Amino acid sequence: MCFRDAAVRLRAQTIWSGVSLEVAPGEFVAVVGPNGAGKSTLIKAILGVHALSHGEASVLGLPPGQAGRRIGYLPQRRSFDASLRVRGVDIVRLGLDGNRWGTPLPVADRFRGSRRRDRERVAEVLELVGATSYATRPIGQTSGGEQQRLLIAQALVHDPELLLLDEPLDSLDLPNQAAIAAVISGICRDRGITVLIVAHDVNPILSYLDRVVYLARGRALSGPPSEVITSETLSQLYGTPIEVLHTSDGGLVVVGHPEAPAHHSDRHTGRTHERP
Amino acid sequence: MIPSAGATGLSWNVADDVRQLFAQHFMVNALAAGTIVAILAGSVGWFMVLRRQSFAGHTLAVISFPGAAGATLLGVSATAGYFAASIAGALVIAAVPGTGRGRGYTNQSAVIGTAQAFALACGVLFVSLYGGFLDSLNGYLFGTFLGVSDRQVLTLLAVAVVVLATLALVGRMLLFATVDTDVAATRGVPTRLLSIVFLVLLGCAAAEVSQITGALLVFALLVMPAATAQQLTARPAVSLGLSVVLALVIVWLGLGVAYFSVYPVGFYVTTFGFAGYVLAASGRALITWAGTRRRATPAVTR
């Protein structure tokens, strides 16, 4: 995947411009930055939902929007209505065959070889993300972390080469963030799938990352985390003094951010409901 | 309305009673129409309940009432009026911004509600202009199960076949677009088009059901079987099938009992639907309660 001097304008406003980045197959890449920096816009530009106003891009060797089935996409946190009576396994299955004509009939599963393979494939990804034990519960009755695993399974089930995950760790508790980060990096390493993950907080995934794309003030920087998340680079990007502190467990704390961290999740809290 | 219910009354011999049901031509037509409408309502209603579009469904049924009354006033067939009004209503609802995105906080329900009230008022005007106020009003609003003509049965059948065929073709995509709109759209499912198509299918189904249960009791067949089935199982295919079966059982029981009774058929159909839902919902609540109790017990004993 490659962007050259790309820019996106939405409603007569430039979201970001001059973005150049190259992601090699099999890399684990994080897109980080403050709210409104255009992180989700970058994902949507890759998907071809937002057209570039300047520059060029290629995704899996094709123009954005052409790669279709070869991309797995997990949109920004959506929660399922608690009263939705559809099982998790059905939601995952729709990722595999939801765009096909016809109507799901239970009988067809038993007699057609292709349907049996589909069912086995669903079971395989559920096992991969560790969701097998609750996949047959109605999805509205699973917890936030469980839903997120099921949705990652859905994005993976059609065997994509590129996985785009928009804030998969948002509104999860710390143990769940760590567990899901491990699941995602495992998928990246073992299956050779390129993963692009949008995150507010880089720390849960920091140790797995090959590359960071830091978006702020309409511009982007990309490179290995040790080069990008430094006091000098970020100060330059923001145009104000920024300090990056190292914690004893290898985490990073960005201080002097123009936006206080407390504001970070405000935009999404209205739409989420975390269940204990 | 019961023209001449129970010519000889209930004999309590099941075979005899069933034979008696099928001996009357109007009863055969009622059963045929009821069966067609039940299959249609059970399947379209299942998607409607899942899509949280019950209010739109109710509105389309209510809109069919001025359609039928207006058609009668103009001397056109009431059946044509039912379909024309409901399908037109479906297209109007589809044009209201925000509808295509399914759920969400839009002013959609306010717009639909406003139009629905006006449609109902127009229907009352048409009926009073036509003259036969009380009788036909009763029929339009609460159903004419037992006055179905041969031609009407054929029309119901033809429309139902078209609607069910379309639904069978797009069922899986519609399910995907319903439960997971964003992802479905990026996977190439035409979500906006599907929501328009579904509203038209819903309009057809609402018009069909209105002709049997009346405009005000459509939910007996559009909502009750689907909601009951979704209480009972979370497997989409099983739930859809169950919804159709429940609709059939409700219609057959309602018609059968009404035949031997002096009270309106709409009451019986709705009552059986209601009883089914209450049983299913309380059964599930009981199971959930027992489940949490069982999980909680070890903590208590320790």
Q: What is the pLDDT of residues B250-259, one digit of tens each?
A: 999 998 898 8
Residues in chain B within 8 Å Cβ distance of A49 = 186
Give the one of B180, B188, B230 whose C-beta lies nearest to A94's C-beta. Answer: B180
Q: Is A97 on the interface with B (CB under 8 A)?
A: yes
Q: What is the per-residue pLDDT for A30? A: 92
pLDDT above 60 for B297: no
In a domain, B28, yes or no: yes
| A100 close contact with B: CB closer than 8 A | yes
Name the residue in chain B with its Cα closest to that of A86.
B234
Tell me if chain B has a CB within 8 Å of the CB of A69: yes
More confident residue, B48 or B260: B48
| Helix, coil or strand: residue A222 | strand
The gap from C-alpha A125 to its chain's centroid, in whole angstroms, comes to 17
The beta-carbon neighbor of A98 closest among B167, B187, B239 is: B187
Residue B106: is its pLDDT beyond 70? no
The answer to whether residue B175 is domain-embedded is yes
Tell me, yes or no, if B50 comes closer than 8 A to chain A by beta carbon: yes
Question: Is the pLDDT assigned to residue B116 strictly greater than 80?
Answer: yes
Return the pLDDT at B174.
95
Nearest CA in chain A to B238: A106
A95–B contact, CB cutoff 8 A: yes
CB proximity B234 to A under 8 Å: yes
B179-190 mean pLDDT: 87
CB contact under 8 Å between A94 and B172, yes or no, is: yes
Residues of A whose CB is below 8 A from B101:
none
Please say if the pLDDT value at position B199 is more than 90.
Answer: yes
The answer as to whether B225 is a domain residue is yes
* More confident of the two residues A218 and B98: A218
Cβ separation of A98 and B50 shorter than 8 Å?
no
CB atoms within 10 A of CB B96: 17
Below-50 pLDDT ranges, chain A: 260-276
What's the average model confidence in pLDDT over B42-47? 96
Q: Which of A49, A68, A155 sits opposite B188 (nearest CB)?
A: A68
By the 8 A CB rule, do B218 and B58 touch? yes
Report yes or no: B173 at the A interface, CB cutoff 8 Å: yes
At B155, is the pLDDT very low, low, confident or very high (cuts 50, 70, 90)? very high
Q: Render chain B in DSSP notation, one character per residue.
A: --SS--SS---S-HHHHHHHHHHSHHHHHHHHHHHHHHHHHHHHHHHHHHTT-HHHHHHHHHHHHHHHHHHHHHTS-HHHHHHHHHHHHHHHHHHSTTGGG-SSS-SHHHHHHHHHHHHHHHHHHHHHHHS-HHHHHHHHHH--TT---HHHHHHHHHHHHHHHHHHHHHHHHHHHHHH-HHHHHHTT--HHHHHHHHHHHHHHHHHHHHHHH-GGGTHHHHTHHHHHHHHH---HHHHHHHHHHHHHHHHHHHHHHHHTSSS-HHHHHHHHHHHHHHHHHHHHHHHHHHHHHHHHHHHHH-
pLDDT of residue B86: 93
pLDDT for position A172: 82
Determine what percent of chain A is predicted with pLDDT higher than 90: 21
Q: Is the pLDDT of residue B11 over 60?
A: yes
With an 8 Å Cβ cutoff, is B172 touching chain A? yes
Is residue B18 in some structural domain?
yes
Flag if A106 and B237 touch (Cβ within 8 Å): yes
Residues of B in contact with A95 (CB under 8 A): 183, 187
Across the interface, of B172, B182, B188, the residue whose CB is closest to A102 is B172
CB contact (8 A) between residue A102 and residue B180: no
Distance between CA atoms of residues A250 and A231, nearest Å: 16
**Which chain B residue shows the shortest CA-CA distance from A158?**
B187
Residue B177, domain member (yes or no)? yes
Domains and CATH numbers, chain A: 2-269 (3.40.50.300)
Token pair for A45: 């530009």
Alpha-carbon dihedral sign for residues A184, A188, A191, A194: positive
pLDDT given for residue B135 in this prediction: 67
Q: Do A104 and B171 touch (CB under 8 A)?
A: yes
Query: In which domain, by residue range, is B267 found?
Result: 14-301
Residue B119: how many CB atoms within 10 A of its CB?
20
Contacts of A80 in chain B (CB under 8 A): 179
- Using the Cβ of A118 and the Cβ atoms of chain B, whether some distance falls under 8 Å is answered with no
Condensed to tens digits (0 to 9), the pLDDT of residues A233-269 reads 888 777 778 888 888 777 777 777 655 444 344 444 4
Residue B60 predicted with pLDDT over 70: yes
CA distance B176 to B172: 6
Per-residue confidence (pLDDT) for residue A257, from 0 to 100: 60
User: How high is the pLDDT of residue B6?
Assistant: 46
Is residue B247 assigned to a domain?
yes
Confidence check: pLDDT of B2 > 70 = no
Mean pLDDT of B61-74: 90
Closest partner residue to B183 (CB to CB) among A81, A137, A154 is A154
User: From the CA of B219, how many Å to the nearest CA of chain A?
Assistant: 19
Mean pLDDT on B109-128: 87
pLDDT at residue B145, rounded to an integer: 67
Which residues in chain B have Cβ-Cβ distances shorter than 8 Å to A78?
A: 180, 182
**CATH number assigned to the domain comprising residue B187:** 1.10.3470.10
Structure-block tokens of residue A38: 């255009």
- Contact of A220 with A212, CB cutoff 8 Å: no
Whether A34 has its CB under 8 Å from any CB of chain B: the answer is no
Which residue in chain A has the smallest CA separation from B51? A84
Question: Over chain B, what is the mean pLDDT?
Answer: 85
Min CA distance, B46 vs chain A (Å)?
12
Number of structural domains in chain B:
1
CB pairs below 8 Å between A and B: how many?
A: 90
Of B103, B184, B235, the CB nearest to A98: B184
In chain B, the residue whose alpha carbon lies closest to the alpha carbon of A138 is B234
Q: Is A137 on the interface with B (CB under 8 A)?
A: yes
Query: Which residues on A lie below 8 Å from B175 (Cβ)?
Result: 94, 98, 104
